[in-house]
Amino acid sequence: MPTQETPPAARVPLDHSHFLREALAMAREGKAAGSAPVGAVMVGPDGTVLARGRNRVGEKQTPEHVGESSVAHAEMDLFFQMGKLKEPETLTLYTSLEPCLMCGGASALLQVGRVVWATADPWGGSGRLIEWSNHPAMQDTEVIACPDPALEREGAALFAPEALKAFPDEGWALWRQKYPEETAAAEGAADSESAK
């Protein structure tokens, strides 16, 4: 019989790398649309993709998607699409970037069983403010951070230009410390662009 210490989603073996690649594809789609490169995928207990979301902060709101708002993050786009979650404890949320406090909190409030992200966000991620394992609402959520080093680097390279542009110096310093190669590439690209 299942125990409360092990959420149902944690007992379902899923190919994390496969679904993180899908989240990264959504992140690239967001970047191409003029929004931040962050993507998310919700997966059911049998491995079926239930919904896909991406950052839509720089896009118009539609009946299908939240947009034109600072809360139009990839996870929120996904949650709005899904509406009321059925058996949320059996679901796994895959994101290209560690969820912020808003999206991490929403995941906890919705009682999502597992959250997996490709790339840590040392400045904007919830973990900077409160350890995921210490968050009272996350006690029944399995959290898996950066399970695939190659995809972690891919996600860092994808988001680093956004971090350079959007985060204050303190945040960029944390990114440079965590992802030195990816941030150096972003700085080089920015310098080349400004020299034109």
Which residues are tagged catalytic? 75
Q: Which helix (H) or strand (E) holds 114?
A: strand 114-119
DSSP secondary structure of 123-134: TTSHHHHS-GGG
Q: Rounded to an integer, what distance in angstroms lies between the CA atom of residue 39 and that of residue 117?
A: 10
Q: Is the dihedral of CA 60, 65, 71, 75 positive or negative?
A: negative
SS3 assignment, position 148: coil
SS3 assignment, position 41: strand
Nearest by Cα to 118 from 26, 11, 50:
26
